Amino acid sequence: MKKDLLKLLDLSREEITEILNIADQLKYEKKHGIAQKHLEGKTLAMIFEKNSTRTRVSFEAGMFQLGGHALFLSGKESQIGRGEPIQDTARVLSRYCDGIMIRTFGQDEVEQLAQYATVPVINGLTDFCHPCQVLADLLTVREHKAVLEGLKLCYIGDGNNMANSLIVGGLKMGMEVAAACPEGYDPDPQVLAFAKSGPAHRFTLCRTPQEAAAGADVVFTDVWASMGQEEEKAVREKAFQGFCVDAGLMALANPGCMVQHCLPAHRGEEIAADVFEAHAQEIFDEAENRLHAQKAVMYLLMKEN
């Protein structure tokens, strides 16, 4: 039976750990010039209904490094953009390719694509979640801190797809999670229900960044207005005043606290320029790890498909 990566809610702690371990190995091999032709002859269809830099480049480069080939399909230029039902696209691409990655708006579109596809489907981002990014985030934190369990993960900002996936991923890996969001910008109810469902889950939804950042081992943030929310920019700037990761906020965290940002970053809004530059090595390690984490996902899903 084929497997997909649609959201972190679908994965167990053991499955996430396996992805991270394989990513570690693939990263080691890449750094040491060891050939990685695990997906030789395989083809990945990449559907983009949202613009991208890191997602496109990391998946395309990753497939090439694994010996396979990636095909870019713009939503505007493919038949999806002209109204072809997603279930038809799924069945056609399954006849041509060995896997499908999609970056789009609605989570329902990804779920429906997976329902009708006979090849693995990977969620490259939806408005609900961003599983590949958070796998890369967990990989980066583990590289710098050696462990995940027992660390405190703090998220400052909009309760968006990043917040949703960080809460799920952090809790599944045994981390304490605190999210600071203004009123009206909470994470998805499904994610909040998950956070409350596990007896071992340590989760706090805060209204001030200071409460969330106290004793943190890693601080995450993201832009205040995501793609498709540009017309809300002025309203959001007012709502998120004070939700900036700056030196004063970092002083409340544990010594050696990491900072992570999925990029692109708006310096002076969600993160101060000096804090960004002080933690640039960690942030760009995180960006690089999109490549290695996604290679691990493709390896696991497509190698035997």
**Which residues are catalytic, by number?**
103, 130, 133, 222, 262, 290
Tokens 């961003």 correspond to what residue? 130
CA distances, 174 to each of 148, 169, 225, 268 (Å)? 7, 9, 29, 32
Q: What DSSP state is assigned to residue 183?
A: T
Q: What DSSP state is assigned to residue 173?
A: T
User: Structure tokens of 26?
Assistant: 């693939």
Buried b (16+ CB within 10 A) or exposed e, 248-277: ebbebbeeebbbbbbeebeeebbbbeebbe
Q: Give Cα 62 to chain centroid, integer Å.
A: 16
Radius of gyration of the chain, Cα coordinates, nearest whole angstrom: 19
Residue 250's nearest CA partner among 212, 283, 224, 282 is 212
H or E element that contains 90? helix 86-96
User: Structure tokens of 6?
Assistant: 């649609």
User: Structure tokens of 3?
Assistant: 């497997």
User: Structure tokens of 268?
Assistant: 């002076």
Angle at 145 between CA 143 and CA 148, to 5 degrees: 90
H or E element that contains 155? strand 152-156
3-state SS, one letter per residue, for 190-232: HHHHHHHHCCCCCEEEECCHHHHHCCCCEEEECCCCCCCCHHH
The whole-angstrom separation of Cα 115 and Cα 112 is: 5
